[in-house]
Amino acid sequence: MSDDKWKKPDQPPPPMFLGEKERNLVKQVNDEIIERVIGQQVLYFPLDIEHTDYHPLYGEAVEKTFLPPVRVFALVEYQGVETQFEQGLGIDKVTKINVKFHKKRLTEDQDLYVREGDFVRYGDIYYEVVKLVEPRLLFGQPEQSFEIQAECIRARDGLFNAS
């Protein structure tokens, strides 16, 4: 019998250029660009559900308790002030920002998880996170999402005040 030297291996070989080292390199480059080159930052206020006195039915709280705020470097896209006409209310103004967080930096290094309903401070203004999008994966690997976009609207006076 001839020796079968073209035998199929038990496990497929690991990807050559899309492993942990490459992922860490991407994280490092992104960290440097976001923190040292661009340098935009927000203050993130995670709401504390346990210590906030929410109404048991309506789920509303006049005074909100938050965990210690975290300074986060992120890419902030200011979307301006927009006039809106509310039925039964009249003219209203909406200010929006779009904050792009570096997910790996947040979860692995700062132990912070972005959630709807939390608040961010950008400049002197508080914004509420209303929508989250995780639009892309690193190298198309399903467990490697690395960006969180948070759509935030300016909080009305009296809704949240950390000072």
Binding site for another protein (CB under 8 A): 47, 49, 54, 57-61, 64, 115-118, 128-130
Task: Give the 3-state secondary structure of residue 12.
Answer: coil
Q: Which is nearer to another protein, 64 or 121 (CB)?
A: 64
**88 in Cβ contact with 16 (< 8 Å):** no
Residue type, 37: V
Q: Which is nearer to another protein, 34 or 47 (CB)?
A: 47
Q: How near is the Cβ of 26 to another protein at its closest, in Å?
A: 23
Q: Which is nearer to another protein, 32 or 53 (CB)?
A: 53
Q: Which two tokens stand for residue 66?
A: 């938050």
Distance CA 62, CA 85 (A): 26
Q: How near is the Cβ of 63 to another protein at its closest, in Å?
A: 12
Q: How near is the Cβ of 37 to another protein at its closest, in Å?
A: 32
Q: Which is nearer to another protein, 40 or 95 (CB)?
A: 95
Distance CA 74, CA 135 (A): 16
Q: How near is the Cβ of 42 to another protein at its closest, in Å?
A: 17
Residues near 89 by beta carbon (within 8 Å), at least 6 away in sequence? none
Sign of the C-alpha dihedral computed for residues 36, 73, 126 and 163 taken in this order? negative
Q: Which is nearer to another protein, 82 or 116 (CB)?
A: 116
**Each residue of 74-94: b (16+ CB within 10 Å) or e?**
bbbeeeeeeeeeeeeeeeeee
